[in-house]
Every structure is written in structure tokens, then in C-alpha cells.
Structure 1
Amino acid sequence: MAPSKAPDSSRRSDRSRRAIHDAALALIAEAGYGRTTIEGIAARAGVGKQTIYRWWPSKAAVLLEAFTDLAERAAEAAGEPRGLPDTGDLAADLKRVLRATVDELNDPVFEGPTRALTAEGIVDPELGAQFAEKLLAPQVQLYVTRLRAAQEAGQLRADIDPRVAVELLIAPLTHRWLLRTLPLTHAYADSVVDHALCGLLADR
């Protein structure tokens, strides 16, 4: 008789971790951040509460990792390349990316966790710093790289700071999304690009 193989603890841990991620995201979407608990996540994932506390110190930490994993999986599924598109048409490239951002912010799968992490990051500086480091900073750097390439190609003014210029593009979308005062649409994203580039483009 062939000897039986010992259970693969790493695979079991991966399955449990993914189940916890999915449970946390589902509960946030269904009940909101305030009503989501570690006990609820554990019950939904089919694991013991102690398993969660062994890997994460809080539900906010669970959500941060779950959302990071979700974003990575979504990018892989969409076959998105690293970096912003560079077709030579800066306005078109930026509009394409900001439209995709609008779609993501309006998608309930992403909206709930993003709002929860944003709100919790305000009252929890450590979580806010992790949120910025793991999710926001890498995305901002992609914009900076694309704008710097346009600057080197002579398309943008030489005296602008690409990091500040990024904020002219993404801050209006974030502001409108946070306040919910007006619809967040593709047309608005296109308008933001057009207005920002009025002050950024080099003289022709």
C-alpha cells in the first residue's frame, strides 16, 4: 500500500486565507464596515476566529490585504500591463486610464472596501499609511512615470512637477466620489484631463 501523503499545510493556509478575503469583502459590501466583525468574517469563511487573529491584528488589516489581493486579481484577469498606456497621445491615454478609474470607483465590488479603508485610514494613522503605501503610492507612481516620459518628449512643460501634476488629475475624481454630490462619469473624467492639460502642456 502506498504511503498516504501528509496534508499540504501551505495549500490549506492559502485556501483559508482566500476564503477569509472573500468573506471580508462580501460582508463589507452587504453590511458595511461598521457592522462587519471578525466573528462574522470567521463564520462566513468557515474558519475559527483564532485563525484570523493569528494572521491579522484587526478587521481593518484583513480588509486591506483582501482588497489588495482583489485589485491584483482584477488586474491579472483584465490582462492589464504594468504602467499607463503610451500611444503618443497623452490626452487620450490619460482619459482611458481615468475612465477605467471611474468604472472601478462606481463598481460596488470595489466601492465598499475603498470607502471603508479610506474612512478607517483617517482615524487609524497606521492603517492609513499602509493603505497609501500598498495601494495608492504604486498607482500614483505609474502616473508620474507616464507624465515624466511626456515631459522628456517635450509634450509637457519642463518646469512642472509630475507628482503635483498627478494630483490635478486624480484629486477631482476622488473629491467628487467621496462627497457623492455629483455623478462620477466618463464625461467628467475627460473634462478633468482637458482642464488639467491646459496648464500642463508645453507651448506649441
Structure 2
Amino acid sequence: MKILFATNNAHKLAEVQAVLGPAFTLLTPRDCGVEEEIPEEQPTLEGNASQKAHYLLRRTGLDCFADDTGLEVEALGGAPGVHSARYATDGHDFDANKRLLLENLAGQNNRRARFRTVVSLLLDGKELQFEGIVEGRILEEERGQEGFGYDPLFVPDGCDKTFAEMSADEKNAVSHRGRAIRKLAAYLHSIEK
């Protein structure tokens, strides 16, 4: 089954393809001629995931899914949350985002945080949403070279490695996106014709 996934991020694409497995071929917006930035203007992860999926459906007519992820830090009242990708700047400047997060947590003893992903699937005219959450903590300095975004700062509960120190398989086994995509995959496999 071919399905359009609202990302051109190679890291995210590889993570999701690994979870979905060989029964599914992921198409990117670029594969379908959508070169422009897909809008994310909603105040919630659920709203952004839905907005992105509906935008792609209107542009391509293809069944699709989109996700939105936020890092929710307890000591910061849930920030950066829905603004995680644009925390420090208007663009996706991961280094600036990490620096600002560490500045805002300076001197904080409470380093509890969670990653939350919401996936919005548009299939045969119906919309379904799937959520994945992983609890953990934010380190005071980066560790690891893998992954992207806040991965070098986040250690999931029950682990001693950051996401950036894990292999793709290790990360997918415990990550928020992996959990949400496994729910999506279970649903898609259950309806496969």
C-alpha cells in the first residue's frame, strides 16, 4: 500500500518506514509535487496534525497521514509544546532550540519532560488520530550523534541513553513517534484488503 506522509525530513521518514514495515511504501510531499511549506497554524498538536493531513489531501487527493510532535517540559509549564520546532526561531533551527531550552532550564532541579506525538490519518474520507507519549528527563548537556531535534538532551524513563545515543531500532522501540506509528500501523494492517 502506498500512502503519503507529510514530511520531507529524511530522519523522520526512515523512523516511520522502519515501524510500518515493507507492506507500506511512504510517499513524501515532494514525491507528489508539493514543494511549499505545509501549514502548521493550530494551537495544538492534534490541530496541526489534522491541518497538515487535510492540506495534503486537498493538494494531492491521496490518502495520507501527518504528525506533529511536541516536547513538553514540566518546569516550563509544558513549553515548548506545539512550538517545539520553532521554539527559538521561525525556522527549524535545532541547535538554537536546544540552546534556548537549556538556558530556560538553567538552575532548575525539575528536569521532567515528555515527548508527545499525534498522528492524523485521512483514509477513504475518514480521519483518525493516534497518540504516542514517552516520559523522561532533560539533561544539562547534549549526548549522542543520532536522531534530530531535542534527541541529544532527552533520556526516556527506564533508559540510560539519550535518543541521540540509540540506534534507530532502539529509539523506535521506546519513542513517542514509534508508539503513535505502531498504533497507526496496527490500524492499517487491520483494514488491509
Query: Is the TM-score greater than 0.5?
Result: no
Name the TM-score, length of structure 2 as normaliser.
Answer: 0.26
Which entry has the higher C-alpha Rg, 1 or 2? 1
| Structure number with higher relative contact order (C-alpha < 8 Å, ≥ 6 residues apart) | 1
